[in-house]
Structures are given as structure tokens and as C-alpha cells.
Amino acid sequence: MKKRGFLIKPRFFLFKKSFMDKLKYFLLFNIIVPFIIFIFKIIGKTFNFKEIKKFNESPYNPLKKENYIYGFWHSQLIGFIYHYRNFKIASIASLHRDGEIAAKAAEKFGIKIVRGSSTRGGFKALLELKKLLQSGFDVAITVDGPRGPAESVNEGILYLAKLTGKKIIPVCFTCKWKIRLKSWDRLIIPLPFSKGYFGFGNPIFIPSNADDKEIEKFKKILQTELMSINKAGERKLYDSKL
């Protein structure tokens, strides 16, 4: 009898753990995340964000003649999702739990999400993004995602540009009133009535026959562009009367 009781207890605890995991998942994705998105949409109406130059490459340009691959730091994800909501933009989210949260949130703002990362489902995701680019979507990618290191360009965006022939447009976002989380990327959360800028760097075209050495060269160019426009954005933000 004792042995039987000993076997029942672990099964009960396994069932309890499985039930609690499912409950947490349900609450997170059906109540908590939708509530946060609802609140953020209200707060977002108080934002005062503007673009610095390079309007030709902006999703807001109604005369834009080609689609692009926008690249920016993972920490600036929230600003980008809100400001460029409901445009014909696609992005990629990892297959991890945090990627699923980001995917659910982005989709609520009209961004089409492809699931995958550099470690899981990466090549399939690139092919899906290629199809979307060919059908007229822009693509937005956090160049240091999904896990970092922060503000260090990964090769994924470069291979997508090589595969599709589409230009990379470096983008930065900076705002005055914000919270920065203690996450690996120090995620920026704009506060109500926050004022900020989006800046665009020079387009980067990667030939379809670029080898690994050339990819590394373009990686350094993109890194330099991003560092440059982010510094310029910070200067503009604190030197202006926005």
C-alpha cells in the first residue's frame, strides 16, 4: 500500500504542475498581454514622435517606390511597433515564450509575424520573409535579436538582404521620457506624453553573390550606420525643442 501511495503522489504533483502551467499560459496570453496592449494603445495617443529626414525610405511616404528591410536595435522594438502600426510590414519572432509574447503584441498592431530564429526555424523563416517582400511587404528586423549581444549586428538581416536583393535601411528610435528594463537589451518603454525621433541611415545593398568575407564587411557597415544614427538621434532629441 505504501508503494502505491508513493507512486500516486508524484503523478498528482505532475498533474498539478501541468495544470498550473496551462493556467499561467491562459492568463498571460488571454488576459495580461491583451490588457497591457489596450493600455499602451491609450498611452500611445499621447506620444509625440517624428522622423528625421530620409522620408523617401519611410513607411509613411505614400510615394515610396520600393520596399525595404528595416533594421534597428532590439531595445527600440516597442517604439517601432507603435509608430509604424497598421502598415504593410512583416517581422520575425523567436519560437521561445518571449518571442510568442512579442508576436502576439505585434500582430495586435497590424504587423505580420513569421516565427523562427537563428537557432530554430531560421532558414524557413527567411524564405517566408522573402515571399512577403516579393508580395510588397516591408520587413522590420531587430538586428541584435533575439538574444543579443545588445547593439551588435547579427548576420540574419544580411542574409535576408542577400537572398532578396532588397536594401537594408538602418533605423533608430530615441525618446525623452522612458523606462529602461533590466533585460539583456535594456528595452525602452516610452512613458505617457513622451517625445521622440526616428532616424534613418543610408541604404545598404548586398549583392546576391556576396561571400562570407563581404558579408562581414557589410555587417561592419551596418553596425557603423546604426551607431551613427543613434548618436545623431540622441543629439537631435536633447538639442531640439520637440
Residue 184 burial by Cβ neighbours in a 10 Å radius (0-12, 13-18, 19+): middle
pLDDT in tens, 97-142: 777 888 888 999 999 999 886 556 678 899 999 999 999 999 999 9
CA neighbours closer than 13 Å in the CB half-sphere of residue 152: 5
Find residue 168's DSSP bridge partners.
69, 204
pLDDT in tens, 48-83: 999 987 778 999 998 888 999 999 999 999 999 999
- The model carries a pTM of 0.87
pLDDT at 199: 94
**Phi, psi (5° rounding) for residue 135?**
-90, 5
The bridge status of strand 112-115 relative to strand 89-93 is parallel
CATH class of the domain defined by 46-239: alpha beta
- Evaluate if residue 12 carries a pLDDT over 70: no
